[in-house]
Amino acid sequence: MLAVILVGFGSFKYGYSYRKKFAELKIGSAEEEAKRILHSATEQSEKEAENLKKERLIEAKEEIHKLRSELEKEIKDRRNEMQRQERRVQQKEDTIDKKAEALEKKEEQIQQKLAEAEEVQAEVDRVKKLQMAQLEKIAEFTAAQAKDYLLKQVEEDAAHDKALLIKSIEAQAKEEAEEKARHIITGAIQRCAADHVTETTVSVVQLPSDEMKGRIIGREGRNIRTLETMTGVDLIIDDTPEAVVLSGFDPVRREIARRSLEKLIVDGRIHPGRIEETVEKCTKDVENIIRQEGERAAFETHVHGLQPELIRLLGRLKYRTSYGQNVLQHSIEVAHLAGLMAAELGVDVNLAKRAGLLHDIGKAIDHEVEGSHVNIGGDVAKKYKESDKVVHAILAHHGDIEPKTIEACLVQAADGISAARPGARRENLESYIKRLEQLEGIANSFKGVERSFAVQAGREVRVIVKSDAVNDDETILMARDMAKQIEDSMEYPGQIKVNVIRELRAIEYAK
């Protein structure tokens, strides 16, 4: 058993030694093969790298050669282009030189011609002086005298032509303008339904008997003092039978006093307490009437959006008169006329009506505020936020400023039409005579006027001029200047005709 084990162990040991040697031999063989293969691969890689390096060098040399060829070609092309540019510049320089030479030659020619022209001019001046001297000798006139004579002749001819031209143009313009204006104005007047003659403020209260005067005065004058204090109006009780005169600048207060006195007379109870009660009641009644009249005026003229205070001021115009014409009725009429004419001309109808209705608004308070009713009206319109165009029309309706809008001109014209209608206004004798004298004075102030006459109630002035002092052309200019001076220095309704008459009478007697 042991022998078998020993034999087995020995066999195993021998086999193990054999396999180990065999393995070592095999490993050594493999290592040598590996070294051989590695050496062979290294040699091959070095060859391939060397070949690759040679290929890259060849490619780089070819690229360098290609770039050098392109660069040489580009340099060659640029050199050719530069040569062409140099040739072109040289040609231009040659052309410029030729032109400069030509200009120099022309300049020399021009200088030569200028010198020749100066010589010719000098010769002309010499001949002209010689001819002028001969002309002066022949005509027996110096140059200055001849010049003055010619200028005078030209001036006379120009004045004649000017007069004829002015006459022709004015005649044509007046014919066309008057025809159109007449059509518009007559149409507006025909369509306007305002009253022609309006009421005036009553300032006289009729009494049932003269005994009532004593009752109005009262014991020791207490009744009349109370009435005057409450109303701010003076009561004039004189020898006028059955009448009491009310005097005051405020038309509204005067109306309150009139109503109060009439009610007291009807009632018969006249004492301070009753007077105060009646005056207060009449004040409220008049304020209601003022408001209603203002609203009526605005409604009748279709003017909307007025401030309440403006409506109240409009109503106050019911008790205000101008030359006997009721101002509220006049304002309504002006609004209608301005609106109708604005419609005919195609301008702003609402603006024309609004400005026409408010144009005399300053008269409602002109007894309380200093200044003309025109300026007061403009300030009132500005205060109550009326437009600038309305304010301008108010300020321009009497010509205080130049009208700059068509609506302002229409309000001015409508105001003149309403004031100039027959029966619309009263005019006292003193102012009437003064206007006639002023007309004749303006006419007589012109040089060459022999006599002048204001006729047709001041609607026309006839001027007779001296025939030896004024010629036909000058009569035309005189009539125009005279009309302009009348417009600038006088105030009048409507228009005034200026008629300048020149005649030559030759009188002989047969014996």
**Which one-letter DSSP state was computed for residue 221?**
G
Say if CB 349 and CB 343 are below 8 A apart: yes
Reply yes or no on whether the pLDDT at 429 is more than 80: no
Predicted local distance difference test score (pLDDT) of residue 392 = 92
Reply yes or no on whether the pLDDT at 171 is more than 80: no
Q: Mean of the pLDDT values across residues 36-49?
A: 74
% of the chain residues with pLDDT over 70: 83
Predicted local distance difference test score (pLDDT) of residue 350 = 92
Q: Tell me if residue 467 falls in helix, strand or coil.
A: coil
Reply yes or no on whether the pLDDT at 185 is more than 50: yes
Window from 175-179, 253-257, 395-399, 451-455 with minimum mean pLDDT = 175-179
Say if CB 284 and CB 265 are below 8 A apart: no
Q: Distances in Å between the alpha carbon of 419 and those of 334, 411, 488? A: 9, 12, 19
The secondary structure of 148-177, three-state, reads HHHHHHHHHHHHHHHHHHHHHHHHHHHHHH
Handedness of CA 91, 97, 103, 109 (dihedral sign): negative
**Which one-letter DSSP state was computed for residue 317?**
G
pLDDT-based confidence at residue 175 (cuts at 50, 70, 90): low
> In this predicted model, which residue has the larger pLDDT, 245 or 40?
245
pLDDT-based confidence at residue 436 (cuts at 50, 70, 90): confident
pLDDT-based confidence at residue 420 (cuts at 50, 70, 90): low
Window from 36-45, 175-184, 236-245, 442-451 with minimum mean pLDDT = 175-184
Beta-bridged to residue 460, according to DSSP, are: 455, 497
Say if CB 216 and CB 261 are below 8 A apart: yes
Reply yes or no on whether the pLDDT at 104 is more than 50: yes
Q: State the residue for tokens 């000098």.
A: 122
Q: Mean of the pLDDT values across residues 155-159?
A: 74
- E runs forming strands in 292-355: 321-322, 325-326
Show the tokens assigned to 445: 């102030």
Predicted local distance difference test score (pLDDT) of residue 425 = 53
Reply yes or no on whether the pLDDT at 197 is more than 50: no
Distance of alpha carbon 161 from alpha carbon 474, whole angstroms: 11
Predicted local distance difference test score (pLDDT) of residue 16 = 55
Reply yes or no on whether the pLDDT at 5 is more than 60: no
Predicted local distance difference test score (pLDDT) of residue 354 = 92
Predicted local distance difference test score (pLDDT) of residue 245 = 82
Say if CB 363 and CB 327 are below 8 A apart: yes
Distance of alpha carbon 149 from alpha carbon 156, whole angstroms: 11
pLDDT-based confidence at residue 209 (cuts at 50, 70, 90): confident
pLDDT-based confidence at residue 3 (cuts at 50, 70, 90): low
Distance of alpha carbon 40 from alpha carbon 86, whole angstroms: 68
- The residues, ordered by sequence, that sit 6+ positions from 500 with a Cβ below 8 Å of its Cβ are 463, 465, 475, 476, 478, 479, 482
> In this predicted model, which residue has the larger pLDDT, 214 or 192?
214
Predicted local distance difference test score (pLDDT) of residue 457 = 65
What does the longest C-alpha to C-alpha distance in the chain come to?
221
Window from 102-106, 122-126, 222-226, 322-326 with minimum mean pLDDT = 322-326
**HSE, side-chain direction, 13 A CA sphere, residue 340:** 21
Say if CB 314 and CB 298 are below 8 A apart: yes
Reply yes or no on whether the pLDDT at 97 is more than 60: yes
- Amino acid, single-letter form, for residue 227: L
Q: Tell me if residue 377 falls in helix, strand or coil.
A: helix
**Which one-letter DSSP state was computed for residue 468?**
T
Say if CB 482 and CB 500 are below 8 A apart: yes
Distance of alpha carbon 143 from alpha carbon 67, whole angstroms: 95
Reply yes or no on whether the pLDDT at 19 is more than 70: no
Reply yes or no on whether the pLDDT at 4 is more than 60: no
Average pLDDT over the chain reads 80
First to last CA, the chain: 221
Q: Residue 119: left (phi > 0), alpha (psi -120 to 50), or beta?
A: alpha
Reply yes or no on whether the pLDDT at 167 is more than 80: no
- E runs forming strands in 242-306: 243-247
**Helix or strand (DSSP H, E) at 48:** helix 2-139
Reply yes or no on whether the pLDDT at 202 is more than 50: no
Cβ neighbour number for residue 197 with a 10 Å cutoff = 14
Distance of CA 65 to the CA centre of its chain: 86
List the one residue out of 390, 323, 320 whose CA is nearest residue 355. Answer: 390
Predicted local distance difference test score (pLDDT) of residue 155 = 76
Radius of gyration of the chain (CA): 59
Q: Mean of the pLDDT values across residues 434-446?
A: 88
Distance of alpha carbon 126 from alpha carbon 157, whole angstroms: 33
Window from 43-47, 211-215, 387-391, 487-491 with minimum mean pLDDT = 43-47
Predicted local distance difference test score (pLDDT) of residue 201 = 41
Decide the pairing of beta strands 460-465 and 449-455: antiparallel
**Helix or strand (DSSP H, E) at 497:** strand 497-501
Q: Mean of the pLDDT values across residues 360-383?
A: 86
**Burial group, residue 385, by CB count within 10 angstroms (0-12, 13-18, 19+):** exposed
Q: Mean of the pLDDT values across residues 132-157?
A: 72
> In this predicted model, which residue has the larger pLDDT, 182 or 200?
182
Decide the pairing of beta strands 321-322 and 243-247: unpaired
Cβ neighbour number for residue 250 with a 10 Å cutoff = 18
Q: Mean of the pLDDT values across residues 332-358?
A: 89
pLDDT-based confidence at residue 200 (cuts at 50, 70, 90): very low
Reply yes or no on whether the pLDDT at 198 is more than 50: no
Predicted local distance difference test score (pLDDT) of residue 463 = 92
**Burial group, residue 417, by CB count within 10 angstroms (0-12, 13-18, 19+):** buried
Q: 116 φ, ψ to 5°?
A: -65, -40
List the one residue out of 308, 280, 271 whose CA is nearest residue 292. Answer: 308
Distance of alpha carbon 502 from alpha carbon 508, whole angstroms: 20
Reply yes or no on whether the pLDDT at 277 is more than 80: yes
Reply yes or no on whether the pLDDT at 195 is more than 50: no
Predicted local distance difference test score (pLDDT) of residue 43 = 72
Q: Which of 239-248, 321-330, 473-482 has the highest mean pLDDT?
A: 473-482
